[in-house]
């Protein structure tokens, strides 16, 4: 942690990226080493460590069992919603995962086959992922808050041989039965999996369909443990679907080799985490943060990971996070700013913290959405540790920018995610692809090749990969975030440049929600915008124009629209508000002025766009938004 260390490392990478990543790759055990560090078999498609062979699960588990960590806790399951705390040592986790892998083999799953995982935050979810990795199968975890229709879309795209699921998840105040949602998704999907394995939880047992469904415990008990199967570094480890600009999610592909190298590099160098440290990421295995920093990175690093089935508040109170840190002696927590805002709202002076001494706690990491300065300052003030905002995406798999506390802690500037990490040649470009002046806002892009760990392509959609990320700024990856670099070289990420919104750290497409609203029989036209919310950062808000002749009361239609989005996308969309308007503001060429409506809703100043068709509409929109509690500036 010495001054100048970051510059030395970053410059070393910039001088010779191949040497840098070859050195980082020494942290991983390889069955066969690479022919080249990186190559470009076709233009813009880069592959890391071609020719090398490894097994990610072996690196995450067996290697530590053999290397002296067999009796060290690997995973601590802490579930306030079920009143359970269970610890798995590296040996126990390796043995369980080997059995789950054996079960997959018995079901006919082979290397390269896809397996969908639709599970809440139970240790079996992590075991399922690692078991796939063990036999070279490709997992695709789907977040439990998504509705059957969304799950069906992912099943049709990934075409899994098997689906692993739990009978239910537990949300505050309700038990969410997963199995009926899975059954409905399979009914909706064209592709049918050969087998489903269901973890029966006592709070809601699921009905099993003979011939297709298997009981998890019985199937795992009956299975012979499976050994790790080496795969190519360039073979896919997983597909993780994320919101794109349409209702069709993007299947982000993660390879084995680059992923292992990048995550293994990040734990000591970026996060400052050592083997044996207890590390906690409070997220969900359904998101990239959960993939990388609940499951893979801490285990690759020989650390102990906490898997938490609970919320920041209400399970049972706003002291839950401090209790977990204290009880398990965690040295760091990684969560989304919204979780801290929830804590702050209930316990503004962090009084509950006094009940939980946390002397070993060193660092708080925040990501998933912009960390607002108030939250950063509040957390820093009460926890008295560095609060590190860092920026990344499902696509990148690990941080683009961070304050690399493991290498050098820079002075914290609330609102900034600090500096680019080695591997990321970050530029700020204007619409013509020219670099903007320092301090000016522009598109944040990364010069190709992307580093190990970042997506090599989209699942079965090379052209969509090019169109989505590479076409707008040739030679660069478009993050679709806008921001600027200040005079100290700090990066500030300010907003998305597309229709993605971030609701409680969850990434959602307003375009996808518009598709759902437009499918309602009474809706002629609609727009969904992301409006500011003090807790969740953003919330979706729908504006709809009804077809002529509709006589149904507006309130009834709004209720139907809210139910429709919940039914098609899921509760995670948090779509609760819509207003009926006579018309939507548009440019003369017919483009809906969503950005202007966001500014009106948030009560900020806005300019009447010179291209607007009829400026009078803006006052109508403001009135309609006032009726639902917005546009109060």
Q: Interface with ligand COA by CB under 6 A: which residues?
A: 120, 144-145, 169, 171, 176, 282-284, 287, 289, 311-313, 335-336, 338-339, 342, 367-368, 504-506, 571-572, 574
| Residues pairing with 278 in the sheet | 304
3-class state of residue 391 by DSSP: strand
310: its two tokens: 């609970």
Dihedral sign of CA atoms 577, 583, 586, 589 in order: positive
Question: 569: number of CA atoms within 13 Å, CB side?
Answer: 31
In whole angstroms, the minimum distance from the beta carbon of 311 to ligand COA comes to 5
| Nearest residue to 103 via CA among 9, 10, 196 | 196
For residues 347 to 376, the per-residue mask of contacts with ligand AMP, x marking binding by CB under 6 A and - elsewhere, is --------------------xxxxx-----
- In angstroms, give the least distance from the CB of 502 to ligand AMP: 5
Q: Is 281 in the site for ligand AMP (CB under 6 A)?
A: no
Cα 331 to Cα 281, 328, 354: the distances in Å are 11, 9, 17
Pick the closer one to ligand AMP by CB: 149 or 491.
491
Residues 507, 536, 568, 586: which binds ligand AMP (CB under 6 A)?
Answer: 507
Q: Of the two residues 497 and 554, which places its CB atom closer to ligand AMP in the complex? A: 497
The site partner of 584 among ligand COA, ligand AMP, none (C-beta below 5 to 8 Å per kind) is none
Partner touching 511 among ligand AMP, ligand COA, none, CB below 5 to 8 Å by kind: none
Residue whose CB is less far from ligand COA, 278 or 318: 318
Tokens of 323: 């209790």
Q: Which of residues 563-592 bind ligand AMP (CB under 6 A)?
A: none
Range in contact with ligand AMP (rule: CB under 6 A) among 26-34, 124-132, 261-269, 387-395: 387-395
* 62 near ligand AMP (CB under 6 A): no
Work out the burial of residue 463: count CB atoms within 10 Å of its CB; fewer than 13 is exposed, 13-18 middle, 19 or more buried. Answer: exposed
Selected binder of ligand AMP within 213, 481, 499, 602 (CB under 6 A): 481
CA distances from 547 to 267, 487, 519, 621 (A): 55, 52, 12, 18
Burial-class residue 534 by CB neighbours within 10 Å (0-12, 13-18, 19+): exposed
Residue 12 CB, nearest distance to ligand COA (Å)? 30
> Minimum CB separation from ligand AMP for residue 32, in Å?
32
Please report which residue ranges of 444-569 form alpha helices under DSSP H: 462-465, 510-518, 554-568
Q: Give yes or no for residue 502 binding ligand AMP (CB under 6 A).
A: yes
Residue nearer to ligand COA on the CB measure, 52 or 282? 282
| Binding at 257: pick from ligand COA, ligand AMP, none (beta carbon under 5-8 Å per type) | none
Query: Could you give the CA distance from residue 413 to residue 417 in angstroms, rounded to a whole number?
Result: 8
Please answer whether residues 165 and 199 qualify as being in contact, where contact means their C-beta atoms are separated by less than 8 angstroms: yes
**Contact between residue 507 and residue 395 where contact means Cβ atoms under 8 Å apart:** no
| Residue pointed to by tokens 């734990």 | 267
Which is closer to ligand AMP, CB of 362 or CB of 506?
506
Partner touching 283 among ligand AMP, ligand COA, none, CB below 5 to 8 Å by kind: ligand COA
| 404/505 with CB nearer ligand COA | 505
Diameter of the chain measured on Cα atoms: 74
CB of residue 67 vs ligand COA: minimum separation in angstroms?
Answer: 30
Token look-up 């316990």 returns 347
Q: Would strands 387-389 and 138-141 be described as parallel, antiparallel, or unpaired?
A: unpaired
Q: Which tokens go with 206?
A: 């699921």
Write out the binding residues for ligand AMP, residues 223-242 only, by CB under 6 A.
242
- Which residues of the chain form contacts with ligand AMP (CB under 6 A)? 242, 288, 367-371, 389-394, 417, 479, 481, 493, 496, 502, 507
């Amino acid at each position: 942690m010495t001054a100048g260390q970051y510059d030395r490392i970053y410059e070393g990478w910039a001088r010779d990226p191949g040497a840098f990543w070859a050195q980082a790759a020494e942290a991983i055990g390889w069955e066969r080493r690479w022919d080249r560090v990186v190559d470009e078999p076709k233009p813009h498609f880069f592959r890391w460590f071609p020719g090398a062979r490894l097994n990610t699960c072996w690196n995450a588990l067996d290697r530590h069992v053999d290397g002296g960590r067999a009796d060290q806790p690997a995973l601590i399951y802490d579930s306030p919603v079920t009143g359970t705390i269970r610890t798995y040592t590296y040996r126990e986790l390796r043995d369980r995962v080997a059995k789950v892998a054996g079960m997959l083999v018995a079901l006919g799953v082979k290397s390269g086959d896809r397996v969908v995982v639709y599970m809440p935050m139970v240790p079996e979810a992590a075991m399922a992922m690692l078991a796939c990795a063990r036999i070279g199968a490709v997992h695709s975890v789907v977040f439990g808050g998504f509705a059957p229709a969304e799950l069906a879309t992912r099943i049709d795209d990934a075409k899994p041989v098997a689906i692993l699921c739990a009978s239910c998840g537990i949300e505050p105040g309700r038990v969410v039965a997963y199995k009926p949602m899975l059954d409905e998704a399979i009914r909706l999907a064209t592709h049918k999996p050969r087998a489903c394995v269901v973890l029966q939880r006592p709070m809601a047992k699921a009905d099993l369909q003979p011939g297709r469904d298997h009981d998890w415990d019985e199937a795992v008990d009956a299975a012979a443990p499976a050994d790790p199967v080496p795969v190519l570094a360039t073979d896919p480890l997983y597909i993780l679907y994320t919101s794109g600009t349409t209702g069709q999610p993007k299947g982000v592909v993660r390879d084995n080799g680059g992923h292992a190298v990048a995550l293994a590099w990040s734990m000591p160098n970026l996060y400052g985490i050592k083997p044996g440290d207890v590390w906690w990421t409070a997220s969900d295995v359904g998101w990239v943060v959960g993939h990388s920093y609940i499951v893979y990175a801490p285990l690759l690093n020989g650390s102990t990971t906490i898997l938490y089935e609970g919320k920041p508040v209400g399970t049972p109170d706003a002291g839950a996070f401090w209790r977990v840190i204290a009880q398990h002696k965690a040295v760091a927590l990684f969560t989304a700013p919204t979780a801290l805002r929830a804590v702050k709202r209930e316990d503004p002076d962090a009084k509950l913290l006094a009940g939980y001494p946390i002397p070993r706690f060193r660092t708080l990491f925040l990501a998933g959405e912009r960390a607002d300065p108030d939250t950063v300052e509040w957390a820093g003030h009460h926890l008295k540790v560095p609060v590190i905002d860092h920026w990344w995406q499902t696509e990148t798999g690990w941080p683009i920018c961070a304050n690399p506390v493991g290498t050098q802690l820079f002075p914290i500037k609330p609102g900034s995610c600090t500096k680019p990490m080695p591997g990321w040649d970050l530029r700020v470009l204007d619409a013509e692809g020219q670099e903007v002046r320092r301090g000016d806002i522009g598109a944040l892009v990364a010069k190709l090749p992307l580093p190990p760990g970042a997506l090599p392509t989209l699942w079965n959609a090379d052209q969509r990969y090019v169109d989505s990320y590479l076409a707008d700024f040739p030679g660069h990856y478009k993050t679709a975030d806008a921001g600027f670099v200040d005079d100290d070289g700090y990066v500030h990420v300010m907003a998305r440049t597309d229709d993605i919104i971030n609701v409680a750290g969850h990434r959602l497409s307003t375009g996808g929600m518009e598709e759902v609203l437009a499918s309602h029989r009474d809706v002629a036209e609609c727009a969904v915008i992301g409006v500011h919310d003090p807790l969740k950062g953003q919330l979706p808000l729908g504006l709809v124009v009804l077809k002529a002749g509709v006589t149904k009361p507006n309130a009834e239609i709004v209720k139907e629209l809210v139910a429709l989005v919940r039914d098609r996308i899921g509760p995670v969309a948090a779509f609760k508000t819509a207003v009926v308007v006579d018309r939507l503001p548009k440019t003369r060429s017919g483009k809906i002025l969503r950005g202007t409506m966001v500014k009106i809703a948030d009560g900020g100043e806005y300019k009447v766009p010179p291209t607007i068709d009829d400026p009078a509409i803006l006052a109508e929109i403001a009135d309609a938004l006032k009726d639902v509690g917005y546009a109060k500036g």
